Amino acid sequence: MDKLLSEVVKLSPVDVKFVKVIMNRPHMIGVYWSNRGPRKKSIAVVERLDIKLKIATLLHEIGHANCAAGGCPCAKVVSSGGELHAESFTLQWLLDNRHKSVLRMEMKHLNLNWPGIDNIYSEAYDKLIKTKLWKDCKRYVRRWWIR
């Protein structure tokens, strides 16, 4: 898995740092900083995460960075569209590269953490689970507990 993490780091269009905590917020596990404010464009991921969650979180933040680099309107504001794009990038990369265990973990993480919250994540989740990509991922991991 360390080799996979190194491979994912190389995908990033911006610098990647592994940190103890993000902005003194222990609940945050990853962030993409655009060049708004004093920071230069970069990604930070909490280093204490399980390797699979670290890989999926990094892919998600790379999805945000790719949207920003490509001029996607979702990169200009925090929105469910931005979360949908970032998570779609994550799932598609894991599916295309056949990383079943990380894909399964990420889908389970989404099922447990994104629905039912009245915010951009639940809106993105509601859209994501209706996509062909979600169905393709479900078929690939073949797990009954994933909607």
Separation between Cα atoms, residue 73 and residue 97, nearest integer Å: 27
Separation between Cα atoms, residue 125 and residue 134, nearest integer Å: 10
Instruction: Identify the residue with better confidence: 87 or 26.
Output: 87
- Give 41-58 pLDDT, tens digit per residue: 899 999 999 999 999 999
- Give 24-42 pLDDT, tens digit per residue: 888 888 998 876 655 688 9
Count the Cβ atoms, other than its own, within 10 Å of residue 27. 6
Predicted confidence (pLDDT) at residue 66 exceeds the cutoff of 70: yes
Handedness of CA 49, 51, 52, 58 (dihedral sign): positive
Predicted confidence (pLDDT) at residue 13 exceeds the cutoff of 90: yes
pLDDT value for 35: 67
Q: Which residue has the tokens 């490509």?
A: 70
Predicted confidence (pLDDT) at residue 145 exceeds the cutoff of 60: no
Confidence at 76, pLDDT banded by 50, 70, 90: confident
Predicted confidence (pLDDT) at residue 144 exceeds the cutoff of 80: no
Separation between Cα atoms, residue 37 and residue 109, nearest integer Å: 31
